[in-house]
Structure 1
């Protein structure tokens, strides 16, 4: 068992406390931290968390308990200082995405984790679903040869679907597309080279910043990704991971993932089409711990065994996904000019 504390019990943090952490049997919770007494009172009243396990500060918690892992589920701007403090105190850390606000901050955290010999993981939960795992394995095995073109569509109508972050800067690229960017890297087993992106805010939108965007991404092995995302779409709703068509030399891999919407859930889907043949649906192997439970279970296993599995979203790995976010935002600010990933990483 890995002993853990959770830092951050707000809206999303409470979801972790209620829905994720209790369903990962290898994690034993020894403390909960939030500077807001009302947040602590809520987990005690609604989830039955013992008052003795609740603390108003990380320092107070570590005077009372000895955790191996900090589960950091705070607002984005608090990620860097809290993760830094946790690493300096000798804790392993799993943190929600994006794990820092800038590449410089992210690099500092990665270096600190390496220096202290601790595991730093970013909870890229979309990696822990059957369809993207299967797609990554098919690409890695060269099922249909090299991947030439990938087309991805993400469509949601935020005003009618309970979205509430109207003031968030870059609500598409920073809040949503980071999932899709990270999946591109994982599924292709490749790194991005440069990007071009345009974003906009349509008439009548409640967003203060751009909720729609299109991007072209060029990867090191030559694959081009055409990406289209919208929080203001009137078209058919896509699964959260989007709809993917991967055009390879000898056929297509077509898939979607995280297909749940307003109380209705469906399975991941993947189908294969050899060139000039019919589309053939493929059975997907179930995974033991999916989604956020998968990320938490993965870091617990790394802490227990010292072995880092394939497709593990370490801080060092996630630098490249964060760089894609920063690059697309910069490209959009330049009117769609190409931005080299090397420029961002520097």
Structure 2
């Protein structure tokens, strides 16, 4: 049984409390934290939990309840103080992506977790779907021969899907693309080396900052990935993981994921396409826990066994996904100039260590 303190009961945090945590067995939420009395009252009422388990601060909750894991479901700018307090108190931590506001903060949290001997887990939930798991396996096996080129396209229309953060800086790269960048690393089994990126806004866009972008990303294994993402597409929307084409010597591997939330008739799909032959839909693997439930189950299992399962996203691992976002932002600010990932990581390594 994993004992959890959940911090954050806003819109997203309450969704975790009401729809995600109940799907994962062998978990006990021993305390809930939110500074808002209204949020605490609502959660106590709707979750049917005694009010004595709700606290206005993490400090108060840590004093009152013992736990194995602090689950932070708060705004990004609150990730750092919540995680730092929990780690310094000797607790394991799980955060949403992006797990810090800056590379400096991210590096400091990873360093603190290592020095305290505690787990810092990041909920990269797109990893916990069958299509990317199968795509990673087929790519590693070279099922279609060697591959050195991949295309990934993400198309959504923010005004039509309830997006409301019109003033968020870098709504594509900082908020959405980290999902795609993280999947790139997982599926290709390689780390990015450098990126060239352009972003822009569109006519009559409600976004204050650029919601559209294109990038070329080079990986250590020689793969070049052509990425395009848009929150203002006038065309057919893609699933949230985007539409992927992995170009191999003997055919194409096409796949997409996280479509069941838009159209239940089109869940994850993986298809092999060969010249002059009929499309070959692939049988997807069964995953017992999907999406955020998958990340939470994997985190609890890692705490219990001390061994991280394959594709687990720790803070140390996720630094590279976060660094790719930072490099993309830097490249866009330099009018599409190539930016080395090592440059961004070097800046993070220069961060001052958190004092324990």
Using the TM superposition, give the Cα deviation of residue 96 of structure 1 relative to its aligned residue in structure 2, in angstroms.
Answer: 0.3
Residue aligned with 1:271, SS: strand
Residue aligned with 2:4, SS: strand
Residue aligned with 2:80, SS: helix
Q: Provide the residue aligned with 1:50 in structure 2.
A: 50
Residue aligned with 1:247, SS: strand
* Greater Cα offset, 42-51 or 217-226: 42-51
Check the 8 A contact 1:196/1:337 in 2, yes or no: yes
Q: Provide the residue aligned with 1:166 in structure 2.
A: 166
2-structure distance, mates of 1:267, 1:331: 34
Residue aligned with 2:17, SS: helix
Q: Provide the residue aligned with 2:186 in structure 1.
A: 186
Check the 8 A contact 2:253/2:270 in 1, yes or no: yes
2-structure distance, mates of 1:263, 1:167: 29
The 5-angstrom pairing of residues 83-162 of structure 1 reads 83-162=83-162
Check the 8 A contact 1:240/1:260 in 2, yes or no: no
Question: Structure 1 pair 76/265, CA: closer, same or farther in 2 (3 Å)?
Answer: farther
Residue aligned with 1:172, SS: helix
Using the TM superposition, give the Cα deviation of residue 161 of structure 1 relative to its aligned residue in structure 2, in angstroms.
Answer: 1.5
Number of equivalent positions: 346
Deviation string for 1:229-270 (max 9, x for gaps)? 100001111100000000122222110000035575631000
Q: Find out whether 1:236 has 2:232 as its counterpart.
A: no
Check the 8 A contact 1:5/1:71 in 2, yes or no: yes
Q: Provide the residue aligned with 1:37 in structure 2.
A: 37
Q: Provide the residue aligned with 1:251 in structure 2.
A: 251
Q: TM-score, normalised by structure 2?
A: 0.95
1-structure distance, mates of 2:276, 2:336: 35
2-structure distance, mates of 1:80, 1:242: 29
Unaligned runs of 5+ residues in structure 1 are none
Q: Provide the residue aligned with 1:64 in structure 2.
A: 64
Check the 8 A contact 2:239/2:262 in 1, yes or no: no
Using the TM superposition, give the Cα deviation of residue 309 of structure 1 relative to its aligned residue in structure 2, in angstroms.
Answer: 1.3
Check the 8 A contact 1:185/1:321 in 2, yes or no: yes
Unaligned runs of 5+ residues in structure 2 are 347-356
2-structure distance, mates of 1:301, 1:261: 27
Q: Provide the residue aligned with 2:225 in structure 1.
A: 225
Residue aligned with 1:319, SS: helix
Q: Provide the residue aligned with 2:317 in structure 1.
A: 317
Check the 8 A contact 1:26/1:297 in 2, yes or no: no
Q: Find out whether 1:269 has 2:298 as its counterpart.
A: no
* Greater Cα offset, 67-76 or 40-49: 40-49
Using the TM superposition, give the Cα deviation of residue 319 of structure 1 relative to its aligned residue in structure 2, in angstroms.
Answer: 0.2
- The root-mean-square deviation of aligned C-alpha atoms, in Å, is 1.2
Question: Structure 1 pair 30/265, CA: closer, same or farther in 2 (3 Å)?
Answer: farther
* Greater Cα offset, 74-83 or 140-149: 140-149
Check the 8 A contact 1:147/1:249 in 2, yes or no: yes
Q: Find out whether 1:216 has 2:216 as its counterpart.
A: yes
2-structure distance, mates of 1:93, 1:146: 39
Check the 8 A contact 1:185/1:192 in 2, yes or no: yes
Residue aligned with 2:105, SS: helix
Question: Structure 1 pair 16/304, CA: closer, same or farther in 2 (3 Å)?
Answer: same
Q: Provide the residue aligned with 1:286 in structure 2.
A: 286
Using the TM superposition, give the Cα deviation of residue 172 of structure 1 relative to its aligned residue in structure 2, in angstroms.
Answer: 0.5
Q: Find out whether 1:8 has 2:21 as its counterpart.
A: no
Check the 8 A contact 1:257/1:267 in 2, yes or no: yes
Using the TM superposition, give the Cα deviation of residue 130 of structure 1 relative to its aligned residue in structure 2, in angstroms.
Answer: 0.2
Residue aligned with 2:298, SS: helix
2-structure distance, mates of 1:202, 1:154: 16
